[in-house]
């Protein structure tokens, strides 16, 4: 069982993903609606895994990944994208994210991403 921080500007998406994550047996320890809050909560809560939306107001997911992975090489981040965000996904992976999932969420794909990042991959 892992602790998880969910980052997405849409409350509905956070709740949908939280339900999936909890059904996988993990515990959601925090939620953030932008990259600034994500960075702050990451260092306060020290979650095992972060799900990070790419596009958010104020401070986006790719920028937050750069800050988190730049300060914690052991961070395990799964990017959350909409279809058509290939370039942002590439940049996030190059910045330290370990995997990505696409909206709308598929239970099997979310489970696979968690298995992958919890298997020992680090920034």
Output the pTM of the full model.
Answer: 0.93
Element (H, E) at 32: strand 27-32
Q: What is the pLDDT of residue 82?
A: 81
Please, are residues 100 and 81 in contact by the beta-carbon 8 Å criterion?
yes
Superfamily of domain 3-118: Response regulator (3.40.50.2300)
State the pLDDT at residue 59: 92
For every one of its 123 residues, what pLDDT tens digit does the chain have, with 9 covering 90 and above? 999 999 999 999 999 999 999 999 999 999 999 999 999 999 999 999 999 999 998 899 999 999 999 999 999 999 998 867 788 888 999 999 999 998 888 899 999 999 999 985 445
């Amino acid at each position: 069982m892992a602790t998880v921080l969910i980052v997405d500007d849409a409350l509905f998406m956070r709740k949908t993903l939280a339900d999936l994550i909890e059904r996988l047996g993990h515990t959601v320890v925090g939620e953030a609606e932008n990259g600034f809050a994500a960075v702050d909560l990451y260092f306060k809560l020290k979650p095992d895994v972060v799900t990070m939306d790419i596009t958010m107001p104020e401070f986006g997911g790719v920028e937050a990944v750069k800050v988190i992975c730049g300060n914690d090489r052991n961070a395990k981040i799964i990017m959350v994208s909409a279809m058509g965000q290939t370039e942002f996904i590439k940049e996030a992976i190059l910045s330290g994210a370990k995997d990505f999932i696409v909206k709308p969420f598929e239970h099997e794909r979310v489970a696979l991403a968690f298995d992958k990042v919890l298997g020992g991959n680090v920034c």
